[in-house]
Amino acid sequence: MSALDKSLREQLQTELQRIHREFGTTFVFVTHDQSEALALSSRIAIFDHGHLEQIGTPEEVYTRPSSRFVAEFLGQINLFPLSDATSDGVTTTGTFAGRVLRVPGLAAGDVLLGVRPEHMRLGDSDPGMGNSVPATVTQASYQGATVQLGLSTVSGNLVRPLSLTISANSDQAQSVRIGESVWLSWRTESGMALEETSKPTKRRGE
C-alpha cells in the first residue's frame, strides 16, 4: 500500500482489520511503515539484516524494546548515554551532562537511557523532580494539529539531537522560539535502559 495516498491507505487498513476479524485467518503483512505495523498487527517480528531482533505484541515491542535498533525502528526516541551507572536492583542511576538521571531496571557501566517524546514535558525552568535536562530549540515544524520540535542538548563535546511533539493549540506552541533555552523532563518509569545492539539470533547448527 506504499503508493496509495494517506486517506485511501487508512481506509484499506480498516478494511483489512475487518476482513481479519471476520475470517479469523492468520495474515502475514510485510511493511516498512512502522505506524502501519503497530496499527494492524497482533504480533510484530522485527528483523535486522536477516536476524530476528524481537517478536511480541505491538505494545511489548514499542514500550519494552530489546535493543537500540528496535527502539529506533519503531517510532521516535530520545537517547541519553549514562556514565558511571549503578543499580540498587530496581532502578539504575547514572549521569548525563552533569545531570543525575534514573531509569527502571538493572544495568551497570555505560547505559543508554531511552525515552519516547510523548512521555517528555517542556518547561522554561528545571522542575526539580524526576529526570530533567536543559536543551535548546533548534527547529519548529507546524503540522496542523501538532508542532514538531527539534532540540539539542550538550554532553561534553557531544551534541545530542532530540525531538518533541506538542499541541499546536497550546500556549507553548505559540511562545516557543528557535534558539530558546528550555528544560525537558520525564518520569523515571517512562524511561528504558537499552543495549546498543542485540545479539543476533543463531540459526540451527551455528
Q: Average model confidence (pLDDT) for the chain? A: 87
Q: Which residue stretches of the chain have pLDDT < 70?
A: 108-109, 196-206
Percent of residues, the chain, with pLDDT higher than 70: 93
Give pLDDT tens digits for 36-66: 888 888 899 998 999 999 999 999 999 999 8
CA atoms within 13 A on the CB side of 18: 6
- Please check whether the domain covering 1-75 is classified as CATH 3.40.50.300: yes
